[in-house]
Structure 1
């Protein structure tokens, strides 16, 4: 039976949805009870690695975090196979963790211990406190020039970024490249990162808990890059790092400051390239923002 044009468009939209959600294989002929499979896997992990007698999430306030095994920058990581803070995760079969205050504190201590971007990346690769790591294919740390005076910060990686392990490499990243080219720059003149370095399933918005857990790492990343101009791609990254509550329409195009290493860095928010793909008429406003960014770089703050 031949489908109508409307039916074909619905099928195409459904396939796009599946692709964006990470579905990259055919379904089986028989239904699978994923709840039962998950329960069986949890029982197997429980038998292989019984939970500690006193999980970190139930310790009294002020109790020091367990420490064992030193990683780059002095971070104290649990030994291989040991439960992680706030949950039952292990290095060889990690399960979800409870995003409690102890996990956030561990992320803060871990990020502050990194003395270089390489150490910070190693810390993130070893960090087991964010559940997004369970579903993501790769860590999406950064791209571009770490010595650049210009730094972009987005919210979270998408499907293409998850596959390649680099931020802004899909359609929105290609648009960002063209926007940089329009002001005479390319990725060698910028450093690009995200607040959340792992792709949320189905490209959903990161939860406040996930953002809070990842926040110390992006703050430390900005400190280590120490740019002259910091650009927030979308309102989410600006709200996370600046603590503002304004929407992107009210915030964009307005110069603000972000404290880095004892000095105030010029900061500006502009539309996320993904939004511009959906709303091309707004590109004229982003063009104004990028012209202002170019002018700020030319006349900008001394390092």
Structure 2
């Protein structure tokens, strides 16, 4: 009489798989990895949106804040939340405060031109501010105010998780890096900041509102923009 051979190994493997994770379904059809990527992108966007909404609630919960008490709207950010580039300005002005969105009016038009000069459409990046409420009479934020809001800004950067951060203006520079010297001595140099074990390359440059008041400094901003373009090419970033 001949014994029938049983594939015990196959049976054990099946039992082991079902022990670790039950209800596995095996198919001969290959996985559509493009659909998987699309689903991941959707899930990533949904997660970021949820985190940004929570961040906005936390900022709005601030008490005894002169900036908040004298503003119409909290200005969080605008643009592509999955962009590899995050741009951070100083603080909202009167038009941004009214609309609740960053970089409006003449300042926004100049920013658009600056970005287009290095083949970037503003809608393809994410824009925000170091301070989320308009300072009274558009005054410069105090170091105490910058420090208070830098906690939220750093969380903001971690949520967007960009490949490059563009920092425009001395208040934004201080909020991100802690440097409070003259921006003219720091601009144009690549720096790094580490947040939650992630390292972000940072380029410090002039704010568009400053360039409107002092157009003779546009030539320096152009040099900074060229360095940003080169970094995008070096990192092979698609934007």
Please indicate the TM-score interval, normalised by the length of the shorter structure: 0.7 to 0.9
Could you tell me whether the CA contact under 8 Å between 1:145 and 1:187 is conserved in 2?
A: no
TM-score normalised to the size of structure 1? 0.59
Partner of 2:91: 156
Structure 1 partner of 2:173: 238
Asked if structure 2 preserves the Cα contact closer than 8 Å seen for 1:148 and 1:188, the reply is: no
User: Which one of the candidate residues 21, 31, 54 is aligned to 1:119?
Assistant: 54
User: Structure 1 unaligned runs (5+)?
Assistant: 1-113
Distance 1:245 1:212, change over 3 A: closer
1:137 aligns with: 72
Q: CA deviation at 1:129?
A: 4.3
Q: Does 1:280 align with 2:182?
A: no
Distance 1:244 1:207, change over 3 A: closer
1:207 equivalent in alignment to 2:142: yes
Are the equivalent residues in 2 in contact too, given 1:130–1:213 (CA < 8 A)?
no
Structure 1 residue 255 and structure 2 residue 190: aligned?
yes
Q: Could you tell me which of 109, 129, 137 is aligned with 1:194?
A: 129
Contact 1:161 1:168 in 2 (8 A): yes
State the partner residue of 1:265. 200
Higher relative contact order, structure no. (Cα contacts within 8 Å, ≥ 6 residues apart): 2
The farther-off stretch of 249-258 and 292-301 is 292-301
Match of 1:176 among 90, 105, 111: 111
2:166 partner SS: strand
- Please provide the CA RMSD for this pair: 1.8
Check the 8 A contact 2:90/2:207 in 1, yes or no: no
Measure how far apart 1:298 and its partner are.
2.0
8 Å contact from structure 2 (residues 77, 126) kept in 1: yes
Contact 2:141 2:171 in 1 (8 A): no
2:153–2:175 CA contact under 8 A, matched in 1? no
Offset of residue 140 of structure 1: 0.8
Aligned to 1:21: none
Are 1:297 and 2:239 an aligned pair?
no
SS in 2 for 1:116: helix
> Is contact 2:146-2:171 (8 Å) kept?
no
Structure 2 distance, partners of 1:245, 1:127, is 24
Q: Deviations over 1:231-280 (max 9, x none)?
A: 11012211222122331111111110011331321111011111111121
Stretches of structure 2 that go unaligned for 5 or more consecutive residues are 1-48
Instruction: Determine the structure 1 residue equivalent to 2:32.
Output: none
Distance 1:268 1:166 in 2: 23
Matches within 5 A, 1:62-73: none
* CA–CA distance in structure 2, aligned partners of residues 244 and 201 of structure 1: 24
Q: SS in structure 1 opposite 2:199?
A: strand
Radius of gyration: which is bigger?
Answer: 2
Contact 2:149 2:175 in 1 (8 A): no
TM-score, length-scaled by structure 2: 0.74
Q: Distance in 1 between matches of 2:236 and 2:199?
A: 9
1:198-239 deviation line (CA, Å, top 9, x unaligned): 001111112222222212111100111111111110122112
Inter-partner Cα distance in structure 1 for 2:143 and 2:236 = 33
SS state of the match for residue 203, structure 2?
strand
